[in-house]
Amino acid sequence: MPDYELVLYDSDPATHVARVTLNRPDRLNALNDLMQLEIADAIRQADADDAVRVVIVTGAGRAFCAGGDLNQLGGSADGDGAGWTSGNADEVRRSFRSAQAMILGVQRCEKPVIAMVNGVATGAGLDLACACDIRIGTPRSRFMSAYVRIGLFPGFGGTWLYPRTLGSLGRAAEMLFTGDFLEADEAYRLGFLNRLVDDAELESTTLALAQRIAAGPPIAIRLSKLMLYKGLEFDLETAMQMAAAGETITLTSQDHIEGVTAFREKRPAEYRDH
């Protein structure tokens, strides 16, 4: 298993589920450059591991992620780097490469990524939750685009992510312009949270869904995720052509044969990713 300083990574070959845990509970899992790079690397590890079919992202302690580390935002990173605020504009722009690696890494991961939102997700933490494919939370899960509260623009992709995950340009605009909290019940009503469960049920519910997805046909699920996001950029005709190409791959796979055979024999399918 990879050994990180600010992130925990583990995977279970028996369930085909990997977990990436942000591990700065004393800082409410606030992000700095090192943590972002470690998250991106952990996601790459999971993506490259044929034994992993689903990835869970969560936070240690009582928060999912409280956004960017204010020490680094203020230019004093306490040994973590020079900070995001400096007199050199191009240096600041380049400093976002670790953020881009993290957000794009999560969304480009071929495997489904589930955010197990165990507490607040604000600023860049909200963006990280948005980059995941599925979100499960509890009444303690609260969401806020905090940038406007400290005079910032959402530099982690929020203006692209929020309308697509909140389902409404107007709702995204309100969060961006006001910095108000989105509470868990409203997040569930909007469909931003796929599940809203009691605190004691968060882990079991997330694992049950992850294992259910992991038991499905990996090739079909990877292609579905790819087209789910690429389809946001296509017109219908292009999407139909790409769908035909994707279905050709699944129709000629051994997993498809196994799925049909298992259906006819009235037994659970055992997919082997080929």
pLDDT at residue 189 is higher than 70: yes
Output the six-digit token pair for 241. Answer: 């052509």
How many CA atoms lie less than 13 Å away from 9 in the CB half-sphere?
21
Q: What is the DSSP letter of 133?
A: S
Per the document, the length of the chain is: 274
Q: Residue 147's Cα: distance from chain center in Å? A: 20
Sequence ranges of the chain with CATH classification 1.10.12: 218-264
> Residue 268, Cβ neighbours under 10 Å: how many?
8
pLDDT at residue 269 is higher than 80: yes
- Cβ atoms 227, 202 nearer than 8 A: no
Domain range 7-214, CATH class: alpha beta
Mean predicted lDDT score pLDDT of the chain: 92
| Amino acid (1-letter code) at residue 5 | E
Nearest C-alpha neighbor of 223 from the set 257, 264, 252, 194:
252
Sequence ranges of the chain with CATH classification 3.90.226.10: 7-214
pLDDT at site 1: 73
Question: CB-based contacts of 57: which residues, under 8 Å, 6+ apart?
Answer: 19, 20, 21, 22, 39, 106, 113, 114, 115, 116, 128, 132
Instruction: Give the tens place of pLDDT for each residue, 74-121.
Output: 544 444 444 555 568 888 788 789 999 999 999 999 999 999 999 999
Measure the CA–CA gap between 136 and 144, rounded to whole angstroms.
16
Instruction: Give the tens place of pLDDT for each residue, 135-164.
Output: 999 999 999 999 999 899 998 999 999 999
* pLDDT over 70 percentage in the chain: 94
* pLDDT over 90 percentage in the chain: 84
**112: helix, strand or coil:** coil
Measure the CA–CA gap between 137 and 230, rounded to whole angstroms.
27
The domain made up of 218-264 has a fold known as: Lyase 2-enoyl-coa Hydratase; Chain  A, domain 2 (1.10.12)
- Cβ atoms 71, 31 nearer than 8 A: no
Nearest C-alpha neighbor of 113 from the set 90, 97, 136, 143:
136
